Amino acid sequence: MRSLEQERAAHALDAVNSIRNKSCASKFRSYVERLPAAIVMNGLGQAMASELAAAGRAEREDDKSAHKELYKLVSKWIHKRGIYSEEDLVTAIVKGEQDRYVLAQAEALAYLEWLKKFSQAFLEKEV
């Protein structure tokens, strides 16, 4: 049986490997590097809503795809952990209770540590 840290790492590594050959890879890396700070400063709900908004207003397809991919991965991980029954994270946050929100935020930050490390290891830095 794998530990929770191993589960996070495995999910994050699979995610980075799936993005590796996409044109949005360097943008994705950049957004992953920024997201933990946005969560700490603004909270998980606002940070994830900002990811959705950025995906919606992005003019370049690379930007749009990178933001969508990041939002989707964090949502899927939080759902997989059973914190929320809804797959869409912003919807779950709005409908959910405070204790779930705190747990989701802590879990998102822990997951993003791995996603950030693997992004830095395997994805090119945006120039």
User: pLDDT, tens digit, for every residue of 54-83?
Assistant: 999 999 999 999 999 999 999 999 999 999
Percent of the chain with pLDDT over 70: 100
Provide the whole-model pTM.
Answer: 0.95
CA distance 46 to 62: 22
Domains of the chain, residue spans: 4-16+23-122
Reply yes or no on whether the pLDDT at 127 is more than 80: no
CATH of 4-16+23-122 among 3.30.70.20, 1.10.520.30, 1.20.1250.20, 3.30.365.10 = 1.10.520.30
Arithmetic mean of pLDDT, 82-94: 96
Q: What whole-number distance in Å separates Cα of residue 9 and Cα of residue 7? A: 5
Q: How far is CA 67 from the centre of its chain?
A: 9
Phi and psi at residue 123, to the nearest 5°: -110, 140
Average pLDDT over residues 38-61: 96
State residue 114's pLDDT score: 98
From 62, 34, 28, 60, select the one nearest 47 (Cα to Cα).
34
With cut-offs at 50, 70 and 90, classify the pLDDT of residue 126.
confident
In whole angstroms, give the CA distance from residue 127 to residue 113: 22
Determine the 3-state secondary structure of 124 from DSSP.
Answer: coil
Report whether 111 contacts 12 (CB < 8 A).
yes
